[in-house]
Amino acid sequence: MAIRTALQNHAAVAVVAICGGFLGATLHDWMKSAPASIRAKRFEIVGPSGKILSYWGPDSDPQIPAATPKGVLLVFMDPNGVRRCQVGAGVGNYSPELQFYGKDGPSETKPQQYLPHPRFSIGLGYNDDPGLAMRDQSVERIVLGAVHGDAPGPSEDTWCLSLREPVTTLVRSRASLCAYRALDGTHGAETLIIDRDRRWSLPPQHPAQ
């Protein structure tokens, strides 16, 4: 009986040694052959139900036209598939951006008639000028940074802090503090307050208007 027990013990030790040696050699070979970088088109994090909660890759918003260059983003979504936060390169120009959406943000699963706007955004726009915007459900309420028109050009150089009332009409109350470069190349500053049909500015007339 003692001899059998000793043989069993020696056999167990041998098995453990063989397995340990095999695992060690395998791990060593795997470490040697591990790639210096991992390449993939998209990384995803899914919840217990299999729904995608986050991804890192090209923007998957279905509202973006197929011909428009898509930026590469790190996106976080809620359980309903609504995009709530994104950071990365923007659509079209690959400018860096950070955006936060409300519960009415872009849906990753349902088509939407309009592309929802972020409630808070910060990024670089035309000419790599920075801008920060905060908005409610309808309009931008606070804008800080460079301000460009619909067709920006190299002569534009206006930076503002602007506050607006929560209405969508074309004529609305707002207050702005701006530094600008006028079309004639001169520089200046302006304080502007608009309250419905009343307007007050300092200086009284903006040279660029």
10-residue mean pLDDT profile of the chain (209 residues): values are 48 44 58 72 89 89 77 90 90 86 86 83 90 90 86 78 76 81 79 82 61
Number of neighbouring beta carbons within 10 Å of residue 78? 14
What is the per-residue pLDDT for 19?
46
What is the per-residue pLDDT for 33?
63
What is the greatest pairwise CA distance in the chain? 110
Residue 187 CB-density burial (10 A; 0-12 exposed, 13-18 middle, 19+ buried): exposed
Backbone angles phi, psi at 35, to 5 degrees: -70, 150
What is the per-residue pLDDT for 22?
54
Residue 97 CB-density burial (10 A; 0-12 exposed, 13-18 middle, 19+ buried): buried
Alpha-carbon distance values, 70 to 52, 65, 95 (Å): 19, 9, 11
What is the per-residue pLDDT for 10?
47
Q: Which two tokens stand for residue 100?
A: 């936060």
Compute the distance between CA of residue 103 and CA of residue 166 in angstroms, rounded to an integer: 19
